[in-house]
Structure 1
């Protein structure tokens, strides 16, 4: 599926907006929520430290590849956009599994469940836009240079 526009913008500018948005999301998630996030909840102290490490790792990698996405979009470099897609697919799958597992195991409030799946829907939309931009760049041989 190829998407052409996001809010009346080209795919290139849409990817820049997505990069800025995901950087903000990752930073807010890291700073504001600490070790109790929308997707990871843990009450035992030992597991809480593991959750914090896992979350910090995921969010740090997310910030790095979002910076690459921004720069790759700015310079029309497909090779800098692809890492974001790979990491974002992995992050999406992790968040999806965590959301489903939490819904089944812990029976969270309706608000938390709705919030998790709204975030997942937004993530999926972002992924489709960036993938479409990457395919658009794929037709340009100059876009593969780093």
Structure 2
């Protein structure tokens, strides 16, 4: 089988220095070559200088990730204050709404009909509006 793994660059492999170094060592021990396309010798050179560069670039990637996460969190916090509710990327659908949607789906109701029934029973989205058919579809599949 194939023994080479190509990645766009070292930070696409892992943005955490420990994960990057450990992951590279694990793949190497299993006989795989990890090759970043932008610098093919990045993981293959075993000189002290190459190890230092690899660690520094890994640390920079880790810093960039942490910085981006902090910026996104701050932006979500500002927007949450502005709109008066928490802005998150998670699904806030209640288990009761999900269960009821599955029951109605089992009765062969359309996604729009399910959304309408859920609304009349008090199950609405985070914005207080009726669930969209695509949201109902995700509910019945999850």
- Give the structure with the larger strand fraction: 2
Under TM normalisation by the shorter chain, which class is it?
Answer: 0.3 to 0.5
More helix by share: 1
- After TM superposition, the score normalised by the length of structure 2 is 0.34
Q: Which structure has the larger Rg?
A: 2
Larger RCO (alpha carbons 8 Å, 6+ apart): 1
Structure 1 length normalisation: TM-score? 0.33
